[in-house]
Amino acid sequence: MLSGARRIVVTVGGNALVRVGEEGRFEQQFKRAQELAALLSKIPSDIQLILTHGNGPQVGRILLRSELCSEDVPTVPVNQAVAATQGQMGMVLQQTLVNQTHRPTVTVLTQVIVDESDSDFLKPTKPIGRYYSEEDAQQRTKDFGWVVRQYGSRGWRRVVASPQPLKIVEYKAIEQLLDGGFTVVACGGGGVPTVIRDGHLLPVEAVVDKDRSTALLAHQVGADILFSLTGVDEVQLDFDTPQARTLRDVSRQEMREYLEAGQFPPGSMGPKVRSALQFLKEGGSEVVITSPELLGEALEGKRGTRIR
């Protein structure tokens, strides 16, 4: 299925390195990165590769440490926590990719332009960090200026803005690295949200959705195929019901109809499907959604949900 492809993007969630039930120790994350890199080594060497990744568990730990140490050191802004995870996770992925694929690899600290007038800044929607009791959540609102929201019986969480990404600042540098033979790790955690004010780049307190920024990057660098690696082997209709049906080979129009019919909720498959459709609308040839474990079979066209 890679016939004719020159440049592909593979994106993985932050849980690819920290699995449920694991403490997230460095040794564990390095082992998970080795497993991922071994799968990516199946990609033919003549195809240029960009890897993007989520950072939910990792950035959550940085923010928790910052909160616990707030009496002794200044707290870390969310955008700086995202930048830190780009470097930390990028180094792990960079080393394991070189070891497994034998391709020169570089991590690009990536900025993503957003609009200061984006409505999400007025009504933040992106939950980050752990759950709190109502009393603890309100105290943190007072102490740190957080915006918090209740999530049913599980408790309260901090929410931050998740504005629409408009441009990847470093996309031309990424293109030059690809043309120079490098594999590139980029857009970690969705990229560092950045606004332009009076002609200057400035950081802003927000989190950009990783799938949206990945689709944007894939478009800007002219990628042919986007592989979205997630927690399911294939996308299903009527997911988690007795009527569940697996989707293998679907058109962009079919997928949009399923999305509009409510098949892919915002809190699960919805963002991935929307980002896939946006990439295809802007010129991409196909998107494959599958689990990391099945990437090898997906590269051969045997598994995964393929949207054309």
Q: Which helix (H) or strand (E) holds 219?
A: helix 210-220
Whether residue 14 lies in the annotated active site: yes
- The catalytic position among 54, 188, 272, 284 is 272
For the stretch 258-267, contacts whose Cβ atoms lie closer than 8 Å and that sit 24 or more positions apart, written own/partner, are: 263/237, 263/238, 263/239, 264/235
- The catalytic position among 15, 54, 90, 304 is 15
What's the CA gap between 101 and 181, in Å, rounded? 12
Whether residue 15 lies in the annotated active site: yes
What's the CA gap between 146 and 168, in Å, rounded? 28
Whether residue 123 lies in the annotated active site: no
The burial class, CB within 10 Å (0-12 / 13-18 / 19+), for 73 is exposed
Whether residue 90 lies in the annotated active site: no
- The catalytic position among 54, 210, 284, 304 is 210
- The catalytic position among 55, 60, 126, 190 is 126
CA distances to 9, 30, 142, 207 from 96, in Å: 18, 8, 43, 27
Cβ-proximal residues to 246 (8 Å cutoff; 6+ apart), any chain: 234, 235, 236, 305
CA angle 301, 302, 307 (to 5 degrees): 50
- The catalytic position among 13, 14, 189, 190 is 14
Task: Report the catalytic residues.
Answer: 14-15, 126, 210, 272
